[in-house]
Amino acid sequence: MSKPLEGISVLDLTRVLAGPFCTMLLCDMGANVVKVERPEGGDDSRSFSPFVGDDSAYFMSINRGKKSITLNLKTVEGKKLLERLIERFDVLVENFRPGVFERLGFSAQRLREINPRLIYTCSSGFGHSGPMSHRTAYDLIIQGLSGMMSITGPDENSPTKVGSSIADIFCGTFACIGILAALHSRNLTGKGQKVDVAMLDSMVSVLENAIARYAATGEPPVPIGNRHPSIAPFASFKTLDGIINIAVGNDVLWEKFCKAIGRPEMCDDPKFVNNPARVRNLEELMEILGGELEKRTSDEWLGVFGKLDIPSGKINNIADIFEDEQIRAREMIVEVPHRCGNVKMPGVPIKFSDTPASIAGPAPLLGEHNREVYAGMLGLSDLEMEELKRKGII
C-alpha cells in the first residue's frame, strides 16, 4: 500500500533538529529524502549523546528512513554537483543562517532558474527578513524571546523553558505544513516557490490564550504553574500517595466532580456555582479541593473519575509512556531495526486510513547512499566518484 507522499523527492541540507524534524515527517509519509552532509563528521547531531554502539540515539530518532550523501559545498565541484541534484528534486530544505546559502551561490532566484518547480524551504531562528534575521538562534534563546518562558513555570520569578525543544519542533512542523501547501499550489500553477519559516514566528503563533488575554486586558500573563488561567478546577492536585491532573472544563463536569468528591453543596455555593466564579475564587477553591483529594490514593480517585468520565490522569514519566497501553495501541513507541539492534523511538502521529505512514527504516550511516545517488541519479562512474572522494568533495 502506497504512502501519501510517495513520488515526492526531498533534498535535505539541514542539520540538528528543526530542519531534520521537518524532513523526518516528510520521510515518514513516503517522501524520498536524501540528506546532504559534510564529508567530515556530517550532521552535528551525529556526535550528540547518548550512543547506541557508535551511533547517536538522538541522530537516529530524527533521521530515520533517510538516505545520506556527502558533499563539500565550499568547493566549485561540490556546488556543481548540488546544482545537478537540485534539477531532479521536488523540494529542497535548508536551515543555514540566512544569507549563508545565498553566499554559496544558491539564492532563491538562482534556485528558481535551476528548477522552476522546486519548493525551496528555509527554516531559521528569525526568518529571512527583519532586523534580527542574521542572528544565530537556539531553542532556549527563542523560547525566551517568544514570551513562552514568561508564562511557563511555578511563578513569575522562575521563567522556565518547556521540557522538549519545542521552538525547533514547531518550526519543523510548520515547515512541513508549508511544503505540503506549496506542493498543492504547484499542482495548480506548475510553479515552485520559497517557504520561509522561523522558530520565533512559530513560537509566537502557539502562545494561544496568552496573546488573547493580553490583547483583551493589557496585562501581561504570568506563570501559574499547572493551573489554567481561565478554567477551574483545571490543575495538578496532591493525593494521599502522589499527584494527578484534573480538568473540569465546564459546569456539567463541575456538578459531577462535586458529587464524586463528596461535596455536592459546592455546586450551589455562589463562590463556585459557575466557571467565572470559580476562577475569581481560585485560591479558596484550590485549598478546599486539596484537602479533599489528599484523603484517597491516586488510583482510587482516578477510578472514581474514570467511571464518571471526568477528565483526569496520572503524570507519567518517560519510562511510563513506554508501557502505557494507549500509547502502545497507537504505535507511538516503535522499534526500528538498526545495525546495533532494535532502537525504540516515537512512532508516526498522523494516522491515514488508506495510505498509512510508517518509518521507512533506520537512520543512514554517513555517506551510505553516495553510490546510489551519484551513480544512479547523476550517472557518475566509479572512477569519477573515487576522484571526488580523493579531493574531499564527497
- CA 255 – CA 360 distance, rounded (Å): 49
Task: Classify residue 322 by its DSSP letter.
Answer: H
pLDDT digits (tens, 9 = 90+) for 232-288: 999 999 999 999 999 999 999 999 999 999 999 999 999 999 999 999 999 999 999
On average, the pLDDT of the chain sits at 96
Would the pLDDT of 1 be above 70? no
pLDDT digits (tens, 9 = 90+) for 168-226: 999 999 999 999 999 999 999 999 999 999 999 999 999 998 999 999 999 999 999 99
Residue whose C-alpha cell reads 580523493 in the numeric block: 390
User: How much is the pLDDT for 215?
Assistant: 95
Domains of the chain: 9-206+327-390 (3.40.50.10540), 234-316 (3.30.1540.10)
First to last CA, the chain: 35
Would the pLDDT of 53 be above 90? no
Mean pLDDT of 365-392: 96
CB atoms within 10 A of CB 150: 18
User: How much is the pLDDT for 265?
Assistant: 96
Percent of the chain with pLDDT over 70: 100
Mean pLDDT of 311-335: 96
The contacts of residue 271 (CB under 8 Å, 6+ apart) are 277, 278, 280, 281, 284, 285
Angle of CA points 317, 320, 324, to nearest 5°: 135
Classify residue 258 as exposed, middle or buried by CB count within 10 Å of its CB (0-12, 13-18, 19+).
buried
Instruction: Considering the candidates 134, 184, 228, 369, report the single residue annotated as catalytic.
Output: 228
pTM over 0.85: yes
Q: Is there a contact between 43 and 120 (Cβ–Cβ < 8 Å)?
A: no
- CA 385 – CA 70 distance, rounded (Å): 11
Q: Is 336 helix (H, G, I), strand (E, B) or coil?
A: strand
pLDDT digits (tens, 9 = 90+) for 10-39: 999 999 999 999 999 999 999 999 999 999
Cis amide bond preceding 50, omega within 30: yes
Q: Is there a contact between 59 and 17 (Cβ–Cβ < 8 Å)?
A: no
| Residue 184 is among the residues annotated as catalytic for this protein | no
Smallest CA-to-CA distance from 43 within 5, 8, 71, 22 is with: 71
Mean pLDDT of 296-313: 97
User: How much is the pLDDT for 339?
Assistant: 81
- How are beta strands 234-238 and 194-198 bridged, if at all? unpaired
